[in-house]
Structure 1
């Protein structure tokens, strides 16, 4: 039986492949253009408008940088989001490692408990923490009844309460991100390190952690962006005196009806998240390049 082989030049296929690639990207690009790029462009345009002037103005930006409350809210948002990102990653890593490596019957239960917070609404979970952390809440009542403290501890209406509440909200997403990264690490590397005499702590420190950097970066970025854009938890647990950009934007729109100034705050919040995301992605890319270079040198 004769076989006929037809050779098709690669150059003739490349335009077809490129056209298929563009066609595949068109729905997503159109969706992002209509529901993200266009609204953000309108938001940027609104930030440069001023009703009193009746045209282009940078007054809202000047007010943002000269108003101490706005800059303080920006810094408070960055600090709050950074603490939440660190807390979620540190607390979620052991759980993610257990879920990625365990074969015990308790794995399903731990996985269910890790995702259980997402079964309730954000407001419901926040009110639960409010009952626990407020001056006459569960923790202070127990400590007062035991005589360990003479006055309630300031556990609510501050940064601590907001970080605790947001960590509870974001933790399941961090666990899933870390678990996916750890599952992609070959288990034979851990067994090889243990056979060479490395302890469990050394294996995690020198093998698992370096190889799970993409998951760590993903968890940090996801937690940071979700915490920075959160509104309900800072508004309820932080109280009236704890102002972050999300709550300040709501005030400007609902109470002061100052859309240009609210747009400036929204642009500042978006810029903060974009900068943090860019830094995280660049760090992960440099780490990957360094690893590949070290692997090529050793081979």
Structure 2
């Protein structure tokens, strides 16, 4: 028994020491999250429950948010814009991500560099580039007018279309990276086996690659949605003064009306919306994994 005790005690001490080292390694990140995320979020939540004039606890800002007739349309506009961007990024990024996941050599490196090239320029610079292309006297309208295809400029800027185009350009590299990581995890031998059994390329993509890359698709949708919903510069520049989403409305309340309480309410709603979208995406993927494990267990 003495030998048993002497063997167990060092193992326990080693385990405790390992946990202590783990806590020490995590403490800087946890401290940073507490100071720069949890604390400001707590202050913002508390600020949203205060009266703008007196500073006393009040629900006036929340009552105004749900009754002023402008905030709820702003939510719907933010959701619709973010959904369009998420779908566009995922659809446009999937072919590029598949090529990058399967290709080799110098061509892959060139395509990869071109896919990430937009991130080398700032968001404002890219947005102004699209403004020059899409405005009434921009490149597209001038070209169409010069060719005689239209008689008046097309409404390509100061609307939802322009914002979706600009944000898709901004977010696309992140969607490509998310999809590429997921596709790289799919064994290429599965595609070859399907082709050997008689499936054409379209069938292989539909029945093999797409189902197995669902985690990457969900991740791309979530990342694109949250980045688009929180974007400010692109909607403000390409959408114009009449296109109001939550991010631009928050800035307006802070910079022009100096109503921090009402701005905090909008920020809380925006943050809650992102949490809901992230939760739904995580739950969808978790349930999908459970179904796949259940089918595997049933089949075995």
Give the TM-score normalised by structure 2: 0.93
* Residue equivalent to 1:113: 114
Q: Displacement of 1:22 after TM fit?
A: 3.4
Shift of the 197–152 alpha-carbon distance from structure 1 to 2, 3 Å rule, reads same
Describe the SS at the equivalent of 2:225: helix
Describe the SS at the equivalent of 2:106: coil
* Residue equivalent to 2:33: 32
CA–CA separation in structure 1 for the residues paired with 2:32 and 2:286: 28
Describe the SS at the equivalent of 1:106: helix
Q: Is the 8 A contact 2:102 2:184 kept in 1?
A: yes
* Residue equivalent to 2:186: 185
Instruction: Trace 1:222-237 onto structure 2 (pairs within 5 A).
Output: 222-237=223-238
1:279 aligns with 2:280: yes
Describe the SS at the equivalent of 1:49: coil
* Residue equivalent to 1:218: 219
Residue segments in structure 1 that go unaligned for 5+ positions in a row: 1-5
Q: Which moved more, 1:15-24 or 1:89-98?
A: 15-24
1:43 aligns with 2:44: yes
* Residue equivalent to 1:82: 83
1:91 aligns with 2:92: yes
Residue segments in structure 2 that go unaligned for 5+ positions in a row: 1-5
CA–CA separation in structure 1 for the residues paired with 2:52 and 2:244: 26
Q: Displacement of 1:32 after TM fit?
A: 0.9
Shift of the 69–201 alpha-carbon distance from structure 1 to 2, 3 Å rule, reads same
Q: Is the 8 A contact 2:159 2:243 kept in 1?
A: yes
CA–CA separation in structure 1 for the residues paired with 2:199 and 2:297: 24
Q: Is the 8 A contact 2:47 2:260 kept in 1?
A: yes
Q: Displacement of 1:51 after TM fit?
A: 4.0
Instruction: Trace 1:77-226 onto structure 2 (pairs within 5 A).
Output: 77-226=78-227
Q: Displacement of 1:52 after TM fit?
A: 3.1
Q: Displacement of 1:18 after TM fit?
A: 4.3
Q: Is the 8 A contact 2:77 2:245 kept in 1?
A: yes
Q: Deviations over 1:219-252 (max 9, x none)?
A: 1111111111111000000000000111111110
Q: Is the 8 A contact 2:52 2:259 kept in 1?
A: no
Describe the SS at the equivalent of 1:198: coil
Q: Deviations over 1:112-159 (max 9, x none)?
A: 110111111111110110011111111111111111111111000000
Q: How many residues align?
A: 294
* Residue equivalent to 1:62: 63
Q: Which moved more, 1:86-95 or 1:193-202?
A: 193-202
CA–CA separation in structure 2 for the residues paired with 1:51 and 1:120: 39
CA RMSD of aligned residues (A): 1.7
